[in-house]
Amino acid sequence: MSQSTRKADTLQDQPTNRPHKLSIAAVEESTDRKPHSYERWLIAKFLRMAGNPPVRFQLWNDEIIESDLSAASFTLRLADPKALYQLVSNPNLAFGDLYSSGRLEVEGDLSDLMTALYRAVHKAREQWPKWLEAVWRNHNPRSTSVSDARENIHHHYDLGNEFYQLWLDHAEMQYTCAYYESPDLSLEQAQLAKLELVCRKLRLQPGQTVVEAGCGWGGLARYMARQYGVKVHAYNISREQLAFARAEAEKQGLSHLIEYIEDDYRNIEGQYDAFVSIGMLEHVGKDHYSEMARVIRRSLKPEGMALLHSIGRNRPMLMNAWIEKRIFPGAYPPSIGEFMSICESGDFSVLDVENLRLHYAATLEHWMERFESVQDQVTELYDAHFTRAWHMYLAGSTAAFRAGSLQLFQVVFTHGDNNNLLPTRKHLYSALAAPEA
């Protein structure tokens, strides 16, 4: 794949049925003129509506506009008048786009800035009128039908194994929340600890069979086969990931235990002792939850255990527009209430829900550190726009988990009539989950 198709493939606008709400095409990008007084008013008003975050704006003529209600820790520089109008008319989408294109520059740590913005806006929203709330969240997520799902997944996960290898852990290429059972763990240790925690929750025994929906680069399947001696059928629709997964299983001598299958989770066949899915539910889409429930119901043996691990919300709410449009088309993080429609329609009994929100903030901080250390290589692979977009994506996600805008749920469930249950969850904590450093 050439660099230019890669770029076009990953960061272009996704198709949408809806025109932009304000036409600002006519506003000049010229930086020759001074700001108008209503532009100053607009940006000050914008700061107030956003809950007076500790932020000052620097306009294209170097003029500073700041709230008199909070001391600014961050400076946001708008490169031209059009950037100002784009930001105030659709901040959710424009903030990321302007940052990616370099027309909004940030002085200060990007993750800290985003955290401050999330917190301020979260508080301010309690006072917002309904129309503003509606404008803020108004976007049409992509479909996640079988064919669209392929395109959505290709968009993100087929960026190239080379790219992800630059900054993910070197243990099992995990692109999901790690488990920092103690705060000093390395990314590698914490990712292996996550895999171990999942196996313990599933109560895996040698010789059992497991099906995995959405297996990424196949790390969990290899961990389960290697550490627990189970047989795994691992499904994924990302071809590049599967090629990597198969080669790695071969290298580790695990091919006899793992079958990596290029197919949609809806086509899973057979019955298993465990059903597991780590970080796929976000891409399933609410409309397909009952379908997913039917898949799990028919795939799980009478005493089988299921575990879904997913980004979620405290309340139903669309994915951030910029993330959904530019990074993860079709993504939707469910609230537990929404999540439960899977368990309810499948007549499952939920045994355990754990929220690992701050573990994802810690994971993202580790990813960011590595990403920043390789950003020149990333820019060489793609371009500066791509690098800035990913910087924004990692910083924004860190902030969302820190500020409580996103959650990370692990939900364990089984058939409603399965009485083969453990009395406590102490087996999860009988020994450290992470390997020694």
Interface with its own copies by CB under 8 A: which residues?
A: 119, 122, 180-183, 314-316, 335-337, 340-341, 343-344, 347-355, 357-359, 402-404, 407, 416-419, 421, 423-426, 428-429
187: exposed, middle or buried (Cβ count in 10 Å: 0-12, 13-18, 19+): buried
83: tokens are: 């950037």
Residue 370: CB minimum distance to its own copies, A: 21
186 vs 349, beta carbon nearer its own copies = 349
What is the C-alpha separation between 392 and 372, in angstroms, rounded? 11
86 vs 115, beta carbon nearer its own copies = 115
How far apart are the two ends of the chain, measured CA to CA in Å?
38
Residue 199: CB minimum distance to its own copies, A: 16
Which helix (H) or strand (E) segment holds residue 259: the answer is strand 258-262
Residue 343: CB minimum distance to its own copies, A: 7
Residue 405: CB minimum distance to its own copies, A: 9
Residue 352: CB minimum distance to its own copies, A: 6
Residue 401: CB minimum distance to its own copies, A: 10
48: exposed, middle or buried (Cβ count in 10 Å: 0-12, 13-18, 19+): exposed
49 vs 358, beta carbon nearer its own copies = 358
Residue 396: CB minimum distance to its own copies, A: 17
Q: 142: which DSSP letter?
A: P
What separation in angstroms does the CA of 264 have from each of 237, 356, 368? Answer: 6, 27, 31
70 vs 341, beta carbon nearer its own copies = 341
Residue 423: CB minimum distance to its own copies, A: 6
Pick the closest to residue 177 from 193, 163, 161 (CA basis): 193
172 CB-near residues (< 8 Å, 6+ apart): 191, 192, 195, 217, 219, 220, 222, 223
Write down the number of H helices and E strands in the chain: 18, 11
78 vs 296, beta carbon nearer its own copies = 296
β-pairing verdict for 300-312 and 407-415: antiparallel
SS3 137: helix
Query: 233-264: string of b/e by CB count within 10 Å (b at 16+)?
Result: bbbbbbebbbebbbebbeeeebeebbebbeeb
What is the C-alpha separation between 434 and 320, in angstroms, rounded? 33
SS3 195: helix
337 vs 435, beta carbon nearer its own copies = 337
249 vs 433, beta carbon nearer its own copies = 433
Residue 314: CB minimum distance to its own copies, A: 5
SS3 294: helix
| Residue 4 burial (CB count, 10 A) | 10
268: tokens are: 């899973």
325: tokens are: 């449009």
119 vs 288, beta carbon nearer its own copies = 119
192 vs 254, beta carbon nearer its own copies = 192
19 vs 183, beta carbon nearer its own copies = 183
Residue 119: CB minimum distance to its own copies, A: 7
Residue 335: CB minimum distance to its own copies, A: 6
| Residue 298 burial (CB count, 10 A) | 12
106 vs 124, beta carbon nearer its own copies = 124
